Amino acid sequence: MKSNFMKLLTFSALLTILISFAGCSKREKITDLSQLDGKEFAVPTGTVADALVMSKFPDAKFKYFNSVLDACMAVKGSKADAAAYDEPILKNIAAKNSGMIVLPQMITTDNYGFAVNIDDTELKNAIDRVITELKSNGEYESMLNRWLPKSGAPKPMPEIETGNDGVFKFGTSAITEPFSFVDGSQKIVGLDIEIASLVAKKLNKKIEIVNMDFGAMIPALISQKVDMIGACITITEERAEKVLFSESYYIGGIAALVKE
């Protein structure tokens, strides 16, 4: 009886080990986007990343995770072939975690922009002027290097003295590192925050950062609770029916992160 019990226990332990390694089988090394046709993608739950992947790879398979980071760690652990999400956010994760790279080819391409109330052309023009100046004087490239380094975490955000002729309310969702996120000192920083601060400076207004859920930003703008919004927002025709977008300040989209 004891012998049979020990055999059963040994078999159960072996079965547990086999199951635990079932999702970690050796996978093909991915170096080109074309190799991902029919492969298994890790994506965050509740996003449209899977639908966008399907538009390019109809035979793709999916595993769902609670966060982008969890999806990326699944790839690192060989539990999926690639993680699909917004390119700059994947680049940020890859820069801070060894063993992962973002493929240079994009699954989809999108333009990111800031948004203002649909009839506020004056503010839109002010934002556009700031973006144009940053790109023409080379400062924009420095900002990208600061917020999207090839390795390591983003650098500290420089102090920007804004004005004092009223308050400029900038709505954001601080979960889109490196565009908008909470740093170690619990301050909301990022590429979008830096650009918004420069817009406030241009208007001689004091900036007030209003953090909210991503889905609440456009309603907050429409109801005039904030003056401008930004947090890695993709410019779409549907959104452009409700708000007025600035010129694009970043070309991103859905990319694929793979094991290095």
pLDDT for 43-82, tens place per residue?
A: 998 788 999 999 999 999 999 999 999 999 999 999 999 9
CA-to-CA dists, residue 97 to 90, 102, 191, angstroms: 10, 12, 20
Question: What b/e readout covers 237-257, taking b as 16+ CB neighbours within 10 angstroms?
Answer: eeeeeebbbbbebbebbbbbb
More confident residue, 249 or 24: 249
Contact by Cβ (8 Å): 42, 79? yes
Chain segment 81-129, per-residue pLDDT in tens: 999 999 999 999 999 999 999 999 999 999 999 999 999 999 999 999 9
How far is residue 126's CA from residue 179's CA, in Å, rounded to a whole number? 20
User: Residue 25: its pLDDT value, please?
Assistant: 54
pLDDT value of position 18: 42
Measured CA to CA, the distance from residue 8 to residue 82 in angstroms comes to 38
* pLDDT over 60 at 1, yes or no: no
For residue 255, give both structure tokens. Answer: 């990319």
Contact 230, 123 (CB under 8 A): no
How far is 107 from 50, CA to CA, in rounded Å?
11
Is the full-model pTM beyond 0.75?
yes
CB 209 within 8 A of CB 160: no
Q: Which domains does the chain have, with CATH numbers?
A: 2-109 (3.40.190.10), 114-233 (3.40.190)
